Chain A
């Protein structure tokens, strides 16, 4: 069946920070752009970012982009690509100033400049001491940024397809990407959206884990689409545990709390980070702090009746700082932890937060795959930006504030690259009549299934399995069992059934389609983690406790076809400065 088709120069899947920064660039250049989103743009998960955007403005302490670059490479445990990291850190001040010109309500210093706070892993002079680099809008930086970007897109009249879910990439025999199939949620219609360029900006996939700071919509749709279309996923074993999720609820408490002077305490009231990271202490990078917290809990120094969390103390900051700089954190603590942080500490545990891996790209956002001996061959017509992409600036562990920065820098870069590639003059290649078949087959299976397991059941089983087999500390036995279980769950996911038969806003159908994507992300994650026999950044293996640069200083590529892995070199050549060779990582 030939699907109804609409044509655009460029198509962006996802209306979070990265997608809307890219669309702004394209719409300003006068291209016909469509932005697809499962939710109204300001509901995208960028809205939940709290602490700040990293940029070496030097407004409150001396800073340089080179220090930012070094911190990011060290934070990545040397798995980040140094060309991309240099580009991002050098561009950072410019994209922040642009955002300010767009109307972003940054907090201000007495001299009128943008307020900046310290953040984990960010330092002055190559690790010497903490630096003020995180450009903040109270503790609602993501909200302010997402709304500002949406506002600018309203100004340039970007065309949004709101509550449309992208289903599959359309690739032709040459391997070129020609657009996507998509489901309009309100009507249940399936359509082909044809474009000369498709940009995936679908964000993260934290919902493969049971306890996550991520929104329900973070189901890795772009990654599932890429994997099904034969694009490998890079470095998927690296998932960041944010040190401070509210115990039991998973809701994020920004690192900005520690940036403003908050500290972590164990059951003895001891500031235990002094032992693990004597220099930066509570502001060491996230993998280090999360592991330290887990260690404290494992050794019986956790708090509460089950000794299963630690405390984040901030009452000593005083009500004025809390109400001015951290008002939303106070709101969350009161609502989700029953404590007023002006008086009492917040119970926190390390919680899944961010996916360092993703769809492999170069610094223009073009998707690259291994082909004919070239490990970075461009896939024509396909870009990926933001959390769903792996460019790779975060390597094995992302620094706080570098995610919002990544969205701005690479959303903009992809937009500029598309504009400069003279998209307008090119013609559409045209879709074959059967281009929509894979998507229609997925939908037909769901429509035909009269009995089967529920999507919620299979999804919950996947989340529980990932949580217990692919957590903060990993080992061979746990991972090998986990791989087995995830593969079995994947089989079950192909036999689910839904009771909802309506065409209109069928959320059960959407959740079933999302489960297909979660499965791909979970497989990629646990298979990659099982194979990597070393500890680096967020991948901590108790059976291989050390980093092994001789064997593992390389990016993982997981291929869905055959559940197969291969590897590619880390780019250790910056664009203009000397490389930073690997060394021991202490904070």
Chain B
């Protein structure tokens, strides 16, 4: 199978290049990550992140034939050759397919990604109705892989100011939690022409999310809450 892979090692390369590989795969190689590991066994300088190999840890996000996705759950049969692999767009490249995710996590941290409830907890669990719990479905499953935020032009242009789809999905995850007591501050925290309103609903995020989540919808819900608050 043929690959063209973005290569850049700051220690040895003046500028990035695309390297061609042609490798015979084993019949058991099912996912793109299997092929990458086979390539690495031949060329150990090829660098990428990986861990769980089942789509839950979010390590191996990359740009695959022009679209962001996770290598471990991308079936090789679905890929047109040569398979072109690039690092996630819009973030500084550390090396090869490894990007510097600091900006992405900084935005995630900026939305206070933790439950806030200062009332003393009961001895047992706080009660939550099944319907209230269901409000978190489609939100809590995010794996922070950054496929969405790095597919978003608004995030590319303003990664320091726009929270981005992943961060906003998590912002809404806590607004939607019946146990949280911080809704007003959470809304204040994103009510800003850049932090929230740079989203123009082009839905690239929805298109690439490997977990099938819908950040655009979450962003709409936040906007609804802001409107509701003013009336």
A binds B: yes
Complex contact B125–A113 (CB within 8 A): yes
A112 to B125, CA, bound (A): 9
Residue B207 CB within 8 A of the other chain: no
Complex contact A103–B125 (CB within 8 A): no
Interface residues of B (CB under 8 A from A): 9-12, 28, 30, 40-41, 43-45, 47-59, 73, 75, 94-96, 98, 101, 105, 109, 112-115, 117, 121, 123-130, 132-133, 136, 140-141, 143-144, 174, 177, 179-180
CB distance from B213 to the nearest CB of A (A): 12
Stretch in A164-172, A498-506, A514-522, A542-550 with 4+ CB within 8 Å of B: A498-506
Most buried by A among B133, B136, B174: B133
Complex contact A97–B123 (CB within 8 A): yes
Q: Which one of B44, B101, B140 contacts A498 once the chains associate, using CB atoms below 8 Å?
A: B44
By a CB distance below 8 angstroms, the chain A residues around B50 are 216
Complex contact A42–B57 (CB within 8 A): yes
Stretch in A143-151, A288-296, A372-380, A407-415 with 4+ CB within 8 Å of B: A143-151
Residue A569 CB within 8 A of the other chain: no
By a CB distance below 8 angstroms, the chain A residues around B130 are 107-110
CB distance from B10 to the nearest CB of A (A): 5
6 contacts between A and B (CB under 8 A): A40-B59, A57-B125, A102-B114, A154-B109, A155-B114, A215-B51
Known: A108-B129, A505-B98. A42 touches B179 (CB 8 A): no
Known: A42-B58, A48-B57, A505-B94. A335 touches B75 (CB 8 A): yes
Residue A30 CB within 8 A of the other chain: no
Interface residues of A in 417-461 (CB under 8 A from B): 454-457
By a CB distance below 8 angstroms, the chain B residues around A511 are 44
Q: Which one of B51, B109, B174, B180 contacts A39 once the chains associate, using CB atoms below 8 Å?
A: B51
CB distance from A233 to the nearest CB of B (A): 24
By a CB distance below 8 angstroms, the chain B residues around A216 are 50-53
Interface residues as binary, A187-226 with B (CB distance below 8 Å gives 1, 0 otherwise): 0000000000000000000000000000111000000000
By a CB distance below 8 angstroms, the chain A residues around B30 are 249, 336
A97 to B125, CA, bound (A): 5
Complex contact A100–B51 (CB within 8 A): no
Residue A258 CB within 8 A of the other chain: no
Q: Which one of B44, B56, B105, B144 contacts A455 once the chains associate, using CB atoms below 8 Å?
A: B44
Residue A43 CB within 8 A of the other chain: yes
Complex contact A45–B73 (CB within 8 A): no
A455 to B125, CA, bound (A): 49
Complex contact A106–B125 (CB within 8 A): yes
Q: Which one of B49, B54, B94, B127 contacts A251 once the chains associate, using CB atoms below 8 Å?
A: B54
Known: A43-B59, A107-B133, A152-B114. A101 touches B121 (CB 8 A): yes
Known: A97-B123, A102-B115, A249-B30. A508 touches B45 (CB 8 A): yes
By a CB distance below 8 angstroms, the chain A residues around B95 are 502, 504-505
By a CB distance below 8 angstroms, the chain A residues around B28 are 248
A108 to B48, CA, bound (A): 39
Interface residues as binary, A241-252 with B (CB distance below 8 Å gives 1, 0 otherwise): 000000011011
By a CB distance below 8 angstroms, the chain B residues around A57 are 124-125
Complex contact B113–A151 (CB within 8 A): yes
- Since A97-B124, A97-B125, A454-B44 are in contact, a sample of 14 more A-B pairs with Cβ atoms closer than 8 Å, ordered by chain A residue number, is A57-B124, A57-B125, A102-B114, A106-B133, A107-B130, A108-B129, A110-B130, A151-B113, A215-B52, A215-B53, A216-B50, A501-B12, A504-B9, A507-B40
Residue of A nearest to B211 (CB): A331
